[in-house]
Structure 1
């Protein structure tokens, strides 16, 4: 994560002063509230920048204040879509985009650095977009730079 933060600062996306992480207590409470163990790489993200990182990813609901709401919003989107796909108790929605798209992990498969799945409103099924959460973060930095 330090290398990611360094790139964000170097690219002018944020300053060190704008990067705010979560406390260990925040993360522990989140795991208790959601009743799921969070992946290690995701916890590193939360510790480093879980409460914000300037302009980085600020157009999607990915930061700490949105996490619990993301779970509910994703379930509601799927209910409205009526396509038969539902999230399991071990699927963790870590980001939501404007109520029509969400990203999640399948925690049954990997608790270290899980694959990232995308679901877009109207889809039949989600699609695996990244093999690892860390790949998602790296690509997000690259996308922001261009």
Structure 2
């Protein structure tokens, strides 16, 4: 006899749709996702110096402290994500990359030489590397970025 768990119902919104899909496809174990407190989320906003987009704030509330083996080793979870903006700015200065980050919310990094940020003007996610001439758009939203990022890890 096979037991079936009752499907979990998630709040409405773009992040939650992607999260439910990642859980259904086996990329995320919902039981291991650990969300952040509102004070930790505010700490990230202060560290970034910008307001957080709703999709990213929902991600932090749901799995901002980690999610088992999902994205292990990536700089995307709290507290590792603190300082990510300053690190990206330092990389740009070191390699002479001309970037304006006034409207940027940094959401992830890979090994300190690849940075991902949300452009707060249009919600798109961009990738920046140490050998970039400039940033390259990789997704139309944080949720779309997260889905691809988790599946490719």
For the aligned pair, the TM-score class normalised by the smaller chain equals: 0.7 to 0.9
2:95 to 75, 81, 98: 81
CA contact (8 A) 1:96 1:103 kept: yes
Q: Displacement of 1:10 after TM fit?
A: 4.1
1:126 is aligned to 135
**Residues 67 and 30 from structure 1, CA distance in 2 versus in 1: closer, same or farther, beyond 3 angstroms?**
same
Listed as ranges, the gaps of 5+ residues in structure 1 are none
Distance 1:21 1:141 in 2: 17
When normalised by structure 1's length, the TM-score is 0.82
**What SS does structure 2 have at the residue aligned with 1:118?**
strand
Q: Displacement of 1:50 after TM fit?
A: 0.7
Q: Which structure has the larger Rg?
A: 2
Distance 1:33 1:76 in 2: 15
Report the RMSD for the aligned CA atoms in angstroms.
2.0
Distance 1:51 1:122 in 2: 30
- For the pair 1:42 / 2:37, whether they are aligned, the reply is no
Matches within 5 A, 1:5-24: 5-24=19-38
When normalised by structure 2's length, the TM-score is 0.79
**Residues 143 and 97 from structure 1, CA distance in 2 versus in 1: closer, same or farther, beyond 3 angstroms?**
closer
Listed as ranges, the gaps of 5+ residues in structure 2 are 1-14
2:85 to 54, 60, 71: 71
Distance 2:106 2:84 in 1: 6
Greater fraction of residues in helix:
1
